[in-house]
Amino acid sequence: MTGLSPDASMPPSEDSADDGLFVYGVVRAETDHHADGLTGIHGSSVDLIVGGSIAAAVTTVALGEPPRRRADLLAYQSVLDALHSAGPVAPVQFGSVLWDASTVLEEMLLPHEDEFNAILDRLDGKQQYNLRASFVEEAVLAELVATDPEVAALRERTRNQPEMASYPERVRLGELVARGLEDRSADEAEVLWAAIEPLTVEHRVRTPPSAQQVLDVALLVEEGRSSDLLERLEDLAEAVHERVRMRLIGPIAPFDFVGEDGWV
């Protein structure tokens, strides 16, 4: 931890006008989250504010010191991952600070208890993974040159010319290459996805296929099927590794599978 101010060690005082409550997310009240063992934003403790059947995980922060440093982002994510390992959690967007415990309770938890419960039920027993597949650019460019005569010809004409002399041809070459990559990207995304989707419960496309990236997708997976998914992805990654690189992050808290339910 770097750059900690003396304030970080101050005891929580929710009544103070200078303090607020940084909210990480919402969990089931009945689950034992061992929240007292967690270290949150600014190195402070993580508390649970219980409202009915649900609870908000919070940390007291000084309002003059918005949590926006590197360590805060990392703490936010690691607290949510820790909560997630104990039971379902609905992450709240980073940077949500409420005035005090009664605001959390009366404005956030109690009026939306049913909605939160519905989200937690949906996420129970599931894990998020973020999957990316991107082209090994040189391999795929070489394919384009080999299969598209116009690309090959333009490349021949432009590669040893001064840039300004061949500007229109370079733009044309780049455009053809971009189109070619986009087409391939869309095709391969479809093929890869067909092999992956059956192992997922839900997914969110984070970025649609593009010239540079084949897949960028968040997967929601039953915990019991995670090892199947990993095995499948490993096989796929090996099969396509000469042209496509696959990168998987997770399991993480289900950041991509909340928030579409509107504002709370």
Amino acid at 208: P
Taking CB under 8 A as the rule, does residue 162 contact other proteins? Answer: no
Q: Which of 29, 48, 86, 230 binds other proteins (CB under 8 A)?
A: 230
Find the binding residues for other proteins in span 5-44 (CB under 8 A): 20, 23, 25-26
User: Of 36 and 74, which has the nearer Cβ to other proteins?
Assistant: 74
Q: Two tokens at 215?
A: 């897949």
How many angstroms separate the CA atoms of 258 and 84, rounded? 13
Report CA torsion sign: 120, 126, 129, 133: negative
Of 1-9, 34-42, 71-79, 219-227, which part binds other proteins (CB under 8 A)? 71-79
Q: Any idea of the CA torsion for 180, 182, 185, 190, to the nearest 10 degrees?
A: -110
Contact between 46 and other proteins by CB under 8 A: the answer reads no
The number of residues that bind other proteins (CB under 8 A) is 89
Q: Which residues of 149-182 are buried (b: 16+ CB within 10 A; e: fewer)?
A: eebeebbeebeeeeeeebeeebeebeebbeebbe
All residues at 6 or more sequence positions from 68 whose CB lies less than 8 Å from its CB, including other chains: 95
33 or 243: CB nearest other proteins: 243
What is the per-residue binding string for other proteins in 171-210, x denoting contact by CB under 8 A?
Answer: x-xxx-xx--x-----xx--xx--x-----------x--x
Q: Which listed residue (82, 123, 217, 240) binds other proteins by CB under 8 A?
A: 240
Query: Using an 8 Å Cβ cutoff, are 103 and 17 in contact?
Result: no
Among 44, 170, 203, 217, binds other proteins (CB under 8 A): 170
Q: Is there binding between residue 123 and other proteins (CB under 8 A)? A: no
Q: Does 233 bind other proteins (CB under 8 A)?
A: yes
110: contact with other proteins by CB under 8 A: no
